Amino acid sequence: MKTVIIATKNKGKAKEFESLFHPKGYEVLTLLDFVGATDVEETGETFEENAILKAEAIAKEFGRFVLADDSGLIVDALDGRPGVYSARYAGEKKNDAANTAKVLDELEEVPETERTARFYCALALASPNQETITVSGSVEGLIAGKPEGENGFGYDPVFYLKEKGKTMAELNSEEKNAISHRANALKVLERKLDQFLAREEGNR
């Protein structure tokens, strides 16, 4: 079976990509399937740069084609922060609660109408055989005054979706996967994927 590597150690994230690749005859592998895979440093200044760094490094390492993503929270009143630093906003060690608390603290004096934000996701598809492609997707929301909901991770409990009347963490998986930034990026990727796969198979 043909394989694609998803440059992540997050099984849940990989599962989201399976529905895209399985119908096209591809088995989805992750970095958990490769002992000693390089831990690529995310030194880019944009989500796209980080996704490309990861995808190209892993594609070069294993000689296969790779999909990588980088995503995070952009808050308008914070001049776009936490942005590419979303996972480590409160310090080098990843801590969802501390990151969320820092954002809420910084927005304490900001009125609700000015707490606009978006989740943003960049995807990069890289191969040793062809040029890397990138796509992106986002979802708009507001930063709530306090965390609500148990279903999400990261900033989901404070990311309020006005049209749903709920935070992202109050949605079930099916609802979230229908509207999330990653889902929106995947929809764009799907439109470009067949062409990429055809070139990939032509280069074998």
Residue extents of the structural domains in the chain:
2-202
Q: Can 70 be counted among the known catalytic residues?
A: yes
Catalytic residue among 70, 79, 105, 194: 70
In the predicted structure, residue 36 carries a pLDDT above the cut 90: no
* pLDDT above 90 as % of the chain: 66
Based on DSSP, count helices (H) and strands (E) in the chain, helices before strands.
5, 7
In the predicted structure, residue 129 carries a pLDDT above the cut 80: yes
Q: Is residue 106 exposed (0-12), middle (13-18) or buried (19+ Cβ within 10 Å)?
A: middle
* pLDDT above 70 as % of the chain: 99
* Gyration radius (Cα) of the chain, Å: 18
12 is in an annotated binding site: yes
Q: Cα 84 to the chain's mean position, in Å?
A: 11
Question: pLDDT band at 108, cuts 50/70/90?
Answer: very high
In the predicted structure, residue 174 carries a pLDDT above the cut 80: yes
88 is in an annotated binding site: no
Question: pLDDT band at 42, cuts 50/70/90?
Answer: confident
Q: What mean pLDDT is predicted for residues 67-91? A: 95
176 is in an annotated binding site: yes
Say which CATH topology domain 2-202 has: Maf protein (3.90.950)
